[in-house]
Amino acid sequence: MTTVEKQVELRNKILFGLEKVYEKLIAFKKHKNTELIVLKNNKIVRIKPE
């Protein structure tokens, strides 16, 4: 396995992990019925999970 292939595999694992964390965060916010606060266009935005 070349270095590039290792980097691609690691990148894919990291992205998969980030997707899982995002899903868990949304599920937690729905369960607690709390807002998700994000930065959008340099403004703080509150989003109610649906």
Number of domains in the chain: 1
- Return the SS3 of 9: helix
**pLDDT (0 to 100) of residue 48:** 87
Reading the chain (50 residues) residue by residue, the pLDDT tens digits are 899 999 999 999 999 999 999 999 999 999 999 999 999 999 999 998 77
**pLDDT (0 to 100) of residue 12:** 98
What is the DSSP secondary-structure string of 28-47?
Answer: HHHHHT--EEEEETTEEEEE
